[in-house]
A and B are shown apart, each in its own frame.
Chain A
Amino acid sequence: DTAVSQTPKYLVTQMGNDKSIKCEQNLGHDTMYWYKQDSKKFLKIMFSYNNKELIINETVPNRFSPKSPDKAHLNLHINSLELGDSAVYFCASSSPGQGDGELFFGEGSRLTVL
């Protein structure tokens, strides 16, 4: 019944490795997002996809590559991980045509780079 689900919930890895986080939503939304929450709890948007098409790309290093195989899935692949990539990554979805286009968030994926 989970509306927006992310895997894995926790990820611990070494600098220089490549890792992926997966996200799926079963709300029928057509827009999905990745947000990064740093250690000070600040939430910042990274990417947004609408119906598999990239619509927002916020000055994120090109080591970060989102992929949307269909409108219910948005994955995040990170190459050459750096210490500063340690954060909680949240996937979210919305449907701009429904009401106020409320964002629904997943529970987050905590990435720790050692």
Chain B
Amino acid sequence: QQQVKQSPQSLIVQKGGISIINCAYENTAFDYFPWYQQFPGKGPALLIAIRPDVSEKKEGRFTISFNKSAKQFSLHIMDSQPGDSATYFCAARKAAGNKLTFGGGTRVLVKP
């Protein structure tokens, strides 16, 4: 049973465009929702994270939108750049120290 479902699997966007990745979760006990960015040959690295008491969080060109009632959250990458080309993972976790459950990943390609 996949507790965090992520879509789309891949995404191609033109430079300057908006990349949108969606995730849905099932476990209402989750209280921490991070997004990780992974470049080829590297480990995932935290990009931005949100807690369910906030509906939106923005850091630079990256924004998380969170809908608690729908159990969905999404990552928006504004003004996408070729350097943003990477695989993005959403994840969810209960209290700190518990396992982080990842979505299936979205491969984003930003064309110049």
Size class of the contact patch on chain B: 20 to 34
Whole-angstrom distance between the alpha carbons of A58 and B51 in the complex?
25
Known: A41-B87, A41-B107. A101 touches B43 (CB 8 A): no
Partner of B44 from the list A48, A55, A97, A105 (CB cut-off 8 Å) is A105
Are A43 and B105 neighbours in the complex by a CB distance under 8 Å? yes
> A101 to nearest B CB, angstroms?
3
Are A103 and B46 neighbours in the complex by a CB distance under 8 Å? yes
Whole-angstrom distance between the alpha carbons of A97 and B93 in the complex?
15
B residues near A92, Cβ cutoff 8 Å: 43
User: A45's closest neighbor in chain B, by CB?
Assistant: B99
Whole-angstrom distance between the alpha carbons of A76 and B101 in the complex?
20
Known: A41-B87, A43-B89, A105-B43. A96 touches B105 (CB 8 A): no
Give the interface of A toward B (CB within 8 A): 4, 31, 33, 40-45, 48, 50, 55-56, 58, 90, 92, 94, 96-97, 100-108
Across the A-B interface, give the 10 residue pairs with the lowest CB-CB distance, nearest first: A105-B43, A101-B96, A96-B97, A96-B96, A43-B102, A41-B105, A45-B99, A107-B43, A102-B46, A105-B44
Give the interface of B toward A (CB within 8 A): 32, 34, 38, 41-46, 49, 51, 87, 89, 93, 95-97, 99-102, 104-105, 107
Q: List 16 A-B contacts (CB under 8 A).
A: A33-B99, A43-B105, A45-B100, A48-B99, A55-B97, A56-B99, A90-B43, A90-B44, A96-B97, A97-B96, A100-B51, A101-B96, A105-B43, A105-B44, A107-B41, A107-B42
